[in-house]
Structure 1
Amino acid sequence: MFMRISLTLTLLASFSVQALAQTTTAGVEGFLIEGKLSEGKSAMQARVEATPKDAEAQYAVGIFSVLIAAENLSQNLYRYGLRPDAPRAPFVRMPVPENPDPEELTYEKWRGVLQQFIDDLAVAEAELSKVDDPDVKLKLPVGMVRMDLNGDGKAEDAETFWKVFTAVAWRAAKLDEDQQRFEIGFDKADVHWMIGYTHLLRAMAEAYLAYDTSEFFTNTASIFFAGVESPLVQLRTERQNNFMDQIADAVLTVHLMKFELVEPERMEVARQHLLTMISQSRLVWEYCTQETDDDREWIPNAKQTSLTPLTVNEERIAGWAAFLNEAEEVLEGKKLLPHWRVNDGRGINLRRVFTEPTNFDLIGWVHGVSALPYLEEGDKVSMDTARTLSRTFEGRFLVFAVWFQ
């Protein structure tokens, strides 16, 4: 009798867990397809409060937080009139529609946009870090996830997460009609993949905010935004030669990339984000290589099926691990970066570039004069490493790097 009761309770518990998992997934999917991100996050937070060990619900909270960060950035870009034909630069690559009546964007507001993005990503990381179940799985139709990119309260068919992802990260990742749903089985490896990306994006934003870029903003922001009061706005009234306009804009952009350091502590924060990204990428592959299933994998191991046209094998996994080791040594100053004009055995200590930052001058770095304070003797990154990575990834290392982390 006792054994029968125990077996019954065990089966009931098992069925309850499965039912809860199915409910969680279905509930998340509904909010995502309708583009109700804040409502979905609140619903999943309530589920976590009711059932603290519900890893899928906590995972959903983290995913909603990531999407909300991207949505907030998109809405800010729309608010200030991001131009559809703007150059594809970091943080302004979101595919927002054209705003016929943008608000005025100032330098201070632009810094606020980036700081909000940093803060939103910190919230997303905190929520994702609470997912501690190594067997967690959340299947979601990524191709059907909608976002309110322009802040009008509606998530239209054209406002999908996949459109954002292909515009920002992977232009080759297109979906045909048969792949419209594009369901991904998000697991523990993907938790660390998402966390790693929050650190990469924050590193980029922190490094930018470390410098006074007000002159750069004043003279180039109108290239990107319609809602900018700039001395150059009048030069855009009659664009007679688009090719020459692009060249002129590019030359001016490079010329103005000379920034005064105003918040040096942000540079070390950026370096720590990059180091954490590396540790998170290692965790991605630690969990990924232990998987024995083959269930809609976003980051597959060598024995799993990829949802992308790219393939993973043992050599590429080892190659990526070697790259992470090399990158970490460079950020820690244990290996030096070569400069094309320095041939006396010295190299650039990148750690000191972050920990002992000075004013930034792009032309000075290309020329070499800005690198002089950071030159040291020591072990340098070898060109053999680059050649090995190129061979391992068949000349597509950057594509794999965007995918892997």
Structure 2
Amino acid sequence: MRLVLPLTLTLLATSALADTNTLVAENGLVGAVAQLSAQTGKTPSDQFALGALHFLRGIEKTLQVRWEYNATIDDLDLPVLRLPVPPNPDAKPFRADLITGLFAELLKDMDASRAALAEIPDGADVALDLNLANLWFDINMNGKRDLGEGVIEVGANTLMGEINFGEMDGIPPMDVRFDTADVAWLTAYTHMVSAAGEMVVAFDPTEAIETVMNANAKMIELRGNAPQQFGFDMQFGGWVDQFAMAYGALNKQPDATHTRAAHAHLLSMISENKVFWAAVAQETDNEREWIPNDNQTAALGFKLAPGTGAAWQAVLADVEALLNGDLLIEYWRISPAGGVNVKKLFMDPPVVDIVTWVQGSGLLPYLERGPVISSRNLEEFDELTGGNIFLMSFMLN
């Protein structure tokens, strides 16, 4: 699950004021947020820009923290953690509470983004002309744009591996006009990121990370100067450590306050998504569209098959039914009579114990008889998108 392109593109939604393209290009996200926040008499388009800037600034902070501590995390498919950061030759020692703190701060930035977007009156006209190539993250915090710090570069390198934009003739213009419907799209995206953040905070991996770090330090001490006989540690050690950290975090009682907040964010994401697609369906223009309806053209050149919006809404309707407990996830030991009630998992979360979940005793309070979700809508969406289901689902959220 790579939050990549959509992130890249949601990130794009950044500019809006008089000339946000120039504002962000010359001042970075910190300066752009400060200047636009201080501006009086902001228009709906300016409010959208401010919401997008807060969103982008939140992503930028996560990249800066990871760069500051050389926190390269390649094996956990979590939002923002998959985005690439360059090596820091003078990094600070990694802290066990870094990941939880990173997501806790990200939650605040998503709140700030939604607060700005909420100031836009219902139905107000929004029109933001943006060149996505002007957007950049100050990852190494030196106050200037370096190679690899463009939003497009960060997203492309996450999706397609290392790309050297320096060997190209720059990044071509990527002009997009974000409009009224996109307010709901960006709002939905903030809820998706917040849901992920709430789940990380709910399971707070700090203790598990500290346990692994302490164990590694002790094993290094025990090995001393003895040469390593095998290369397993170099090849697999990092992956094993990350798995142990994740498993240790999951295998404990999570904080129900945060899992319930994540549940609410997911439902809000779906609600805003409905608003977005309803508004998109009514558009009759064709002006550099971000996500087009069946009669429009995407500004960035990608094509959506006719019926993509309806197919995606069907997928989200299934997800909504799961979140509300109206559909169950099939469970092998009681199939086809019923399955797992996902709503109960969020409302009264259990320890995630792989052994007892597979055997059934750990999930018993959440098992019940009832209709189970079908994969039919997801399969139809996958076929419609040509197999690019993960990329398209993140773009459409």
Give the C-alpha shift of residue 195 in structure 1: 1.4
Matching residue within 206, 218, 235 for 2:198: 206
Q: Give a deviation string over 1:90-115, Cα, whole Å, max 9, x none.
A: 13223221112222333334322211
What CA distance in whole angstroms lies between the structure 2 residues aligned with 1:310 and 1:340?
Answer: 40
Q: Give a deviation string over 1:25-79, Cα, whole Å, max 9, x none.
A: 55311122124222222322333x2x24x12222221121111111111111111
Distance 1:232 1:97, change over 3 A: farther
| Superposed CA RMSD | 3.1
Matching residue within 40, 45, 48 for 1:56: 45
Q: Given that residues 174 and 300 in structure 2 are in contact (C-alpha distance below 8 angstroms), is that contact kept between their aligned partners in structure 1?
A: no
Q: Pairwise mapping of residues 244-283 of structure 1 onto structure 2 (< 5 A)? A: 244-245=236-237, 248-249=240-241, 252=244, 256=248, 258-283=250-275
SS in 2 for 1:302: coil
Q: Given that residues 208 and 246 in structure 2 are in contact (C-alpha distance below 8 angstroms), is that contact kept between their aligned partners in structure 1?
A: no
Matching residue within 84, 97, 103 for 1:108: 97
1:152 is matched with 142
Distance 1:173 1:312, change over 3 A: farther
Q: Pairwise mapping of residues 1-400 of structure 1 onto structure 2 (< 5 A)? A: 25-47=17-39, 49=40, 51-52=41-42, 54-83=43-72, 86-90=74-78, 91-132=80-121, 133-167=123-157, 170-171=159-160, 177=169, 180-218=172-210, 231=218, 240-241=231-232, 243-245=235-237, 248-249=240-241, 252=244, 256=248, 258-308=250-300, 310-400=302-392
What CA distance in whole angstroms lies between the structure 1 residues aligned with 2:295 and 2:274?
Answer: 18
Instruction: Tell me the TM-score normalised to structure 1 length.
Output: 0.81
Q: Which has the higher contact order (CA 8 A, sep 6+)?
A: 2
SS in 2 for 1:370: coil
Give the C-alpha shift of residue 206 in structure 1: 0.8
What CA distance in whole angstroms lies between the structure 1 residues aligned with 2:74 and 2:194?
Answer: 22
SS in 1 for 2:82: coil
What CA distance in whole angstroms lies between the structure 2 residues aligned with 1:278 and 1:156?
Answer: 37
Give the C-alpha shift of residue 162 in structure 1: 1.5
Moved more, 253-262 or 101-110: 253-262
Distance 1:205 1:229, change over 3 A: farther
SS in 1 for 2:371: coil
Give the C-alpha shift of residue 252 in structure 1: 4.1
Instruction: Tell me the TM-score normalised to structure 2 length.
Output: 0.83
SS in 1 for 2:140: coil
Q: Given that residues 257 and 362 in structure 1 are in contact (C-alpha distance below 8 angstroms), is that contact kept between their aligned partners in structure 2?
A: no
1:18 is matched with none
Moved more, 156-165 or 63-72: 156-165
Give the C-alpha shift of residue 231 in structure 1: 4.9
Moved more, 194-203 or 340-349: 340-349
Unpaired segments ≥5 residues, structure 2: 1-14
Moved more, 274-283 or 212-221: 212-221
Distance 1:341 1:162, change over 3 A: farther
Give the C-alpha shift of residue 253 in structure 1: 5.5
> Percent identical across equivalent pairs?
25
Q: Give a deviation string over 1:235-263, Cα, whole Å, max 9, x none.
A: 9x978355444664576467545432252
* AA at the equivalent of 1:94: L
Give the C-alpha shift of residue 152 in structure 1: 2.4
What CA distance in whole angstroms lies between the structure 1 residues aligned with 2:363 and 2:303?
Answer: 38
Larger-gyration structure (1/2): 1
* AA at the equivalent of 2:364: L
What CA distance in whole angstroms lies between the structure 1 residues aligned with 2:386 and 2:16?
Answer: 41
How many residues are paired up? 372
What CA distance in whole angstroms lies between the structure 1 residues aligned with 2:220 and 2:77?
Answer: 19
